Amino acid sequence: MDNIYENAPFDLAKARNDYRSQIEILKSRIDLLAGEDKVLMTMYLKNGCSCRQMAKLAHISETNMARKIHKIAERLVNSEYITLLKNRSEFSKKELGIARDRFMLGKSMKKIAGKNNTTYYGIRETLRKIQIFLNENNDESEQAESPCEMAAL
């Protein structure tokens, strides 16, 4: 019976550290959000409000509130927009604005097109350009972490 839990403390500690780092990432990126999303995540992460409390305030079900928070958290943890910000010299202000609307605010291409007074096709092409850049950047980072290159260091 003692053998079952031999690795539990290490695994549990590692899981807690991973969870804490995710929370810190979320807290540090709240300022990238706008409007209702920013308020919800601030209430949830910084003020410690529960989904039940926030759902009552918003007059929606607890399940819908939990889904909304989960979706916002996914967008915050996703590093695509952060990668674009690190390489902002590669993109125009308009392209970065489109990327923010899509990756951080979760807006549809139709809403982004309406906001920017451009066509849906134009937004799609901009997002395609951004996605190609992200794929190339992701390939480079995967190659840098390959065991052969690590052995060379």
Eight-class DSSP state of 116: T
- Mean pLDDT, residues 10-37: 79
Q: What is the pTM of this model?
A: 0.68
Report pLDDT digits (tens) over 73-105.
888 888 888 889 899 899 999 999 999 999 988
pLDDT at 123 > cutoff 80: yes
Eight-class DSSP state of 41: H
Contact predicate 68/40, CB 8 Å: yes
More confident residue, 25 or 125: 125
Domains and CATH numbers, the chain: 1-77 (no CATH), 79-153 (1.10.10)
Eight-class DSSP state of 59: T
Q: List the helix and strand counts (H, then E) for the chain.
A: 9, 0
Give residue 94's pLDDT.
Answer: 94
Side-chain-side CA neighbours of residue 108 (13 Å): 4
pLDDT class of 149 with cuts at 50, 70, 90: very low
Instruction: Report in angstroms the alpha-carbon separations of 139 from 49, 112, 135, 149.
Output: 39, 28, 6, 14
Contact predicate 71/82, CB 8 Å: no
